[in-house]
Structure 1
Amino acid sequence: MDAQKYSACTSILIGKKASTDGSVMIGRNEDARAAWPKHYIVHPHHESKSNPVFKSSDNKFKLTLPKVRFKYDATPEWTKKYGLFEEDGINEYNVAMSATESTYSNETVLGVDPLVKDGIGEEAMITVVLPYIKTPREGIERLGKIIEKYGTDESNGILFADKNSAWYMETGGGHQWVAERIPDDYYAVIANQSAIQDIDFNDPNNFMWAPHIREFVNKYHLNPSTHGNFNFRQIFGTHTLADTYYNTPRVWYGQKMFNPEIQQDPQSQNLPFIRKSHRKLSINDAEAFLASHYQGTKYDPVGEGKPQDRKRFRPISLAKTQESHIMQMRPNQPKETTGIHWLAMGVAAQSTYVPFFSGITGTPTAYHYGVHDYKHNSAYWAFKLAGIMVDSHYLQFNPQLEALQAKLNIHYLNSIKDVDANAKQLSSDQLVKLVNKVSNGEAKLAIKDYRKLTGHLIALAADYSPLNYHQDLNL
């Protein structure tokens, strides 16, 4: 079973001067299978007497870990059989990490630096990195050293952030990597294709790289540039026809959302990695991007375009999304409320982004449940089932879903405003109690309302049976 080998995510990063409130934001849709539940948990701070050893259940990768593990939250799989896949979280030092955006190295690179079967993969990255770092740079350095020593079994993009900066890291071949700091007034959207372009080796404040990457590229004559620049996307990435249908249209649509004044071809292989938006972006903009499916264009699969156009490109939000997340790292807040982990279980377009403050010490019980087959007690299945009901009669049911999404989002924003108004007057212990109460309360409200909507839609769906018939009420 290769559940995660077909993972195909979409990511967004927003610098602090590009956002409306000075927040740094990173987010991603975790896409693999249409029915593959996720859980949401908090790992407490833990100190071991001896160094624990991480052993992958996906391959033979293992790593000795530090004795001190910082508190962090994560969204692991419902089963450990194929790996943990903790995917996203914020640790006690308010460092956020999302891993990974699946990418591909080209055949020329793999011919001289093959992927390592038992190297580190997506399933392990959050678990062995996030609980042991205090800054995004530390995260990149730690993961980079692991890749250099043990290799990686796949090509990936990894997102890091704190309240000061967002970083995007990409791997190439079995042992190479680079990272770029997103300029404060820029954003980036990525879709399963190497994205980072020119690396400035004279600017270590904004770029990081594997120590011997230039020697490696020169040794094997991998750089096609005639200008002497080092374009990671060109050297390590793919540029196939499949990319123009599966990947580049998603980047095109994100840039169309935030820079509508710029005309671009959705199948262009030359879309820039970073852009400066024509306006500042909010958490709602980040959510709208990750929940999008080419609305307003002929490519919308549930739109009014021609059948061949509606099926032409792979959308951003799709049935195979297991969960979608945005980590909002806010300035001028106490540590318990600096980070907000916005988490939408299931399909982003049909779910709701519930806000969890970084100071929480636990999550609702419903977020600990969920197996492959439907279970009523699972948060994942509560949101997923509503989407399935809407899918059956999209035009009739989707307006009711959208009304609930808007209602809940307004409620979330009001709750956050109230927490912020009181946060600076509370002690740390009081604030932890408050953020647990509010975060878990919002989650329980969302589950309750989604279950209520699902019940209502089931009753409405009964009248759409193919065995139905217009009945003479006099009979």
Structure 2
Amino acid sequence: MQKNLLTNFSACTSVLVGKAASADGSTFIGRNEDSKAAWPKHFVKHAHNSAVTEFISKDTGLALTLPQESAAYTATPEWTDKFGLFEEDGINEYGVAMSATESAYANAQVLGYDPLVAGGIAEEAMVTVVLPYVHSAREGVQRLGDLISQSGTSETNGILFSDQEEVWYLESGSGHHWVAQRIPDDSYAVVSNQLSIQVVDFADTANFMSSPAIQAFASQHHLWRTGTPFNFREIFGTQSQSDLIYNTPRVWYGQRLLNPSSKQKPMSFALPFVRQAERPITVEMLSQILSSHFQGTKYDPVGQGKPKNKHKFRPISLAKTQESHILQLRPNLPTAIGGLHWLAMGVAAESCYVPFYAGISETPADYKVGGATYDPQSNYWAYKLLGVLVDSHYHQFNEQLAAVQNEVHANLLHQLEEADQKAVTLTGTALTDYLTKTSAQRGAYARQEFEALTATLITQATDRSPLNFNTDANL
């Protein structure tokens, strides 16, 4: 959904965490999918398939013949495929997680020499044509990179990959050129709509990958001098005023939460891509980042700052978030159990992350319905309805929302721990059925609690009408 105009840009925020940086040895990748305030997402599980498939993109027209074997995988497609699938994120049966995409910009000079390809691969197709066909994060990088080099891409994007051992971030910087960096095991990265990878060490093939001729391309067009550090962000990216307002503050805030003692400025081009957190990272810390809007600073749009500061920067969690996901791959467990697709429908700040096992055979019915108009049967719309109510009286209702969010998350963790203990004793169909059943129960529980809050807030809102008048209580 990448567009030419900033106002229509698919503007997401991403996080990546290496296994030694997390509290329990998990790898994490997560992202807010931001595009439109009322544009539902569904949550599905694709079964393993053994049929040769021809893929044709409804977005760019790209036609591909796919490998015969496709793995089972979770995904969050659009409510309509009119403009393409936009499956966005998921975990496959081989234990590979993928999230696509973190939209970005390349500079005019680079695009002048290697323009974007109108009929190339784009965001709407990436998960669909890559995730079912790879057995590791590194293999995912290579498959997508080859597609970009061969077919070209119509967009500048960042794509997240992980497995139980490695976390990778790939960025396309022009029509056919890309680089990818492995996030060090002891480190994390926060990314927000700008090319972020910095110095690339082409000799270090364990930690960097790239399009085959990228050095020759950059040297030939005098974008880079041979023998000097190859800084991908500086060569291919942008450093505009809009970056300082729209992008760097989100990276600053994410790093502020994970490195609170570090003194940095929100409008800075010097923010590092990769950092080591001051304490082990948990799923709660990542959900705090992805659901944040500069809380505790003068830049919070619903805070106590001055008007000029409250709307100075674009927050991480905002009305245009369609869904937010955290893909966790836990160590020492089979993928079916160890893989968790944490999914928050709608605006993460006003929703909650529900953990679904990667090994489910199907998703709950309410996660697979919902169109452009409000539908009470839809899980997406259930959370959006609550958000609308909270927004209408934010300072009166937000405390109640936070209390429910905390209680629901605590209970989900307890339910998950109990389910884990049972799941490790099962195999085969019994395991699949159990994972599917317990995941659905967690989704139903969370929705039930949030709908109870919705009922409470509707009742309370009836007395907050602007047509109200304070007078004798009996009149």
Asked if these proteins are the same fold (TM beyond 0.5), I'd say yes
Structure 2 residue 287 is matched with structure 1 residue 292: no
413-422 or 440-449: bigger deviation: 413-422
The letter for the 1-side match of 2:237 is G
Indicate the residue corresponding to 1:391 in structure 2. 391
How far, CA to CA, are the matches of 1:194 and 1:157 in structure 2?
A: 7
Q: Partner letter of residue 44 of structure 1?
A: A
Aligned residues: 472
Tell me which residue corresponds to 2:321: 321
Match of 2:222 in 1: 221
| Alignment of structure 1 residues 100-249 onto 2, 5 Å | 100-223=101-224, 228-249=228-249
- The one-letter code matched in structure 2 to 1:184 is D
Q: Quick one: distance in 2 between partners of 1:428 and 1:165?
A: 27
CA drift of 1:473 comes to: 3.4
Summarize deviations over 1:433-453 as a string: whole Å, max 9, x none: 221111110101111222221
The alignment-based identity, stated in percent, is 54
Note if contact 2:290-2:316 (Cα within 8 Å) is conserved in structure 1. Answer: yes
Rounded to whole Å, the distance in 2 between the matches of 1:92 and 1:26 is 17
* Contact preservation (8 Å) 2:219, 2:226: no
Q: Deviations over 1:45-79 (max 9, x none)?
A: 0111xx31111111211111111111011000011
Counterparts of 2:334 and 2:205 in 1: how far apart (Å)? 30
Where 1:322 maps in the other structure, the secondary structure is strand
Contact 1:355-1:442 at 8 Å conserved across structures = yes
User: 5+ residue gaps in structure 1?
Assistant: none
SS in 2 for 1:69: coil
Residues 178 and 207 in structure 1, CA contact (< 8 A), matched pair in contact too: yes
* Deviation readout 1:98-131 (Å, 9 max, x if unpaired): 0000011100000000001111100000000001
- The structural deviation recorded for 1:227 is 7.0
Matching residue's letter, 1:41 = V
Cα pair 2:2 2:155 within 8 Å, conserved: no
Q: Which residue of 1 aligns with 2:452?
A: 452
Give SS of 1:463's match: coil
Structure 2 unaligned regions, length at least 5: none
Which residue of structure 1 lines up, in the alignment, with residue 472 of structure 2?
472
Superposed CA deviations along residues 409-444 of structure 1, whole A, max 9, x for unmatched, are 111111121122223322232221221111110101
- 1:3, CA displacement in angstroms? 7.5
Which letter does structure 1 place at the counterpart of 2:212? Answer: P
2:412 matched to 1:409? Answer: no
Q: 1:231 to 1:61 in 2, by over 3 A?
A: same
Distance 1:334 1:226 in 2: 46
Report if aligned partners of 2:89, 2:100 keep a CA contact under 8 Å in 1: yes
| Residues 468, 142 of structure 1: alpha-carbon distance in 2 compared, 3 angstrom cutoff | same
Equivalent residue letter for 2:42: H
Read off the aligned partner of 1:70 and give its amino acid letter: A
Deviation at 1:465, TM superposition (A): 0.6
Shift of residue 146, structure 1, vs aligned partner: 0.7
CA contact (8 A) 2:341 2:357 kept: yes
Distance 1:404 1:154 in 2: 39
Q: Which amino acid aligns with 2:108?
A: E
Partner of 2:41: 38
Partners of 2:324 and 2:3 in 1: how far apart?
A: 17
For 2:210, the aligned partner's letter is W
Aligned equivalents of 1:472, 1:199: Cα separation in 2: 72
RMSD: 1.4
Tell me if the contact between 1:334 and 1:423 (Cα under 8 Å) persists in the aligned partners: no
Amino acid at match of 2:416: I
Cα distance per residue 1:211-257 (max 9 Å; x no partner): 1111111111112x697000100000011010000000000001111
Shift of 1:159: 0.1
Aligned residue in 1 for 2:379: 379
What stretches of structure 1 move > 6 A for 4+ residues in a row? Answer: 1-4
CA distance in 1, matches of 2:436, 2:465: 44
- Name the counterpart of 1:251: 251
Alpha carbons 1:197, 1:233 under 8 Å: kept? yes
Aligned-residue offset at 1:31: 0.2
Please say if residues 3 and 32 of structure 1, whose CA atoms lie closer than 8 Å, have aligned partners that are also in contact. no
Query: 1:282 matched to which residue of 2?
Result: 282
The equivalent of 1:75 in structure 2 is 76
Q: In the aligned structure 2, how far is the partner of 1:29 from the partner of 1:370?
A: 19
Do residues 17 (structure 1) and 20 (structure 2) align? yes
CA–CA distance in structure 2, aligned partners of residues 227 and 387 of structure 1? 53
1:45 counterpart letter in structure 2? H
Please state how far the C-alpha of 1:278 moved relative to its aligned partner: 0.8
Contact conserved, 2:329 with 2:335, CA < 8 A, in 1? Answer: no
Q: Please identify, of 32-41 and 60-69, the stretch whose mean Cα deviation from structure 2 is larger.
A: 60-69
Q: 2:50 aligns with which of 42, 47, 59?
A: 47
Deviation of 1:87 after TM superposition, in Å, equals 0.2
* Matches of 2:365 and 2:243, distance apart in 1: 40
Q: Give the whole-Å Cα distance in 2 for the aligned partners of 1:335 and 1:16.
A: 15
With over 3 angstroms needed to count, the CA separation of the structure-2 counterparts of 1:342 and 1:15, relative to structure 1, is same
In 2, Cα distance between the equivalents of 1:308 and 1:226?
Answer: 45
* TM-score, L = length of structure 2: 0.97
| Alignment check: 8 A CA contact 1:3 1:33 kept | no
Q: In the alignment, is the contact (CA less than 8 A) between 1:336 and 1:428 conserved in 2?
A: no
Deviations 1:323-347 (A, max 9, x none): 0000000001123111100000000
Structure 1: distance between partners of 2:356 and 2:222: 48
**Which amino acid in the other structure matches residue 38 of structure 1?**
K
SS at match of 2:459: helix
Change (3 A) 1:466 1:231: same
Provide the rounded CA distance (Å) in 2 between the counterparts of 1:150 and 1:79: 25
Q: 1:28 aligns with which of 24, 27, 31?
A: 31
